[in-house]
Structure 1
Amino acid sequence: MVLGMLAHGPATSYDLKQRVGLTIGNFWAFAHSQLYDEPARLAEAGLLTVTEEEGGRRKRTYSITDEGHHALQEWLAAPTPDETEVRDLGLLKLFFATFAGPGDLAHLADTRRASHKSRADGYQALYSQIAEHADRWQVKSLELGIRIERTVERFWTEFIEELEADARKPPRSDS
């Protein structure tokens, strides 16, 4: 991740944090400490160079080396057989909903639908801003993010409709 972000241009660790937060931070979870520790490690390995400010806060600006570009290209060329990992708290709560209280399921569905709609709307707004001038592959990753969020939003919308239909059914009589 660090090599890929620095392939776009030199940056301090703080700059990296900002770049990641606005881009891949939307779909790749990371510890912010990585953006402070990892560049130093990569510099020791010869994949980055470091320029340190003289005086002031002595900020370090990192730049990718030819070896760093080569390592990035090797990583990009390596197979990616891993399955997509889903860590969705709403899905986990749905799985255990048998033990939820009255109204909890409807509340969960409402909040998850709203959350995914908001995220999809945000991605769509970003897409409208950058689609014409951004890197083609970054735009494609954003398109996938929009599709995923809209699909999950649609799931929760349909689930809400299912809950509402269940609520309209007359109670079963077990006679």
Structure 2
Amino acid sequence: MGNNLNQSFEITRVFNSPRELVFKAWTELEHFAKWWGPKGSTLEVVKMDAQSGGTLLGFQTSPDGNLVMWRKFEYQEVVDPEKVTYIQSFSDEQGNTIRAPFSTSWPLEILNIITFEDSKGKTVLKLKGYPMNASAEEQESYNGMAPKLQQDLEETFDKLADYLVFLS
């Protein structure tokens, strides 16, 4: 790990569904809100425009219902059905970027690059996350949360896998 300021987070998952369907699940409002977020959490999407230059604004509620966190995605590049790149941040209800409710040293912006690769009718999804313009302290905070990020994404992808079965 060390002090590499460009430390990224990567996860790969194979879904037993065609990539067009997996891509739709990531980019269409009626699908996205049904599976996004770790086990037990729910996502309410206020607006979603999943195209280059578009925005997603929504709030996630923790399993116990006590914590509500507003999330914002600013879509940088959306290439159907190959790639979705967005900057993710915490926000207020108006979509203004704010500090994470759980940490004063969490990076304000995380760049996520997701690729969808066709593999004999299945989809290989790769997600890479990079803190943007992060201070050394913010990068350290991000690195320290990597195991938790991994777990949350595994749970999120489990929900997506279940949802794709339901869609097929």
Q: Could you state the TM-score of these two structures normalised by the residue count of structure 1?
A: 0.22
Larger RCO, structure (CA 8 Å, separation 6 or more) = 2
Q: Whose helix proportion is higher, 1 or 2?
A: 1
Q: Could you state the TM-score of these two structures normalised by the residue count of structure 2?
A: 0.23
Q: Whose strand proportion is higher, 1 or 2?
A: 2
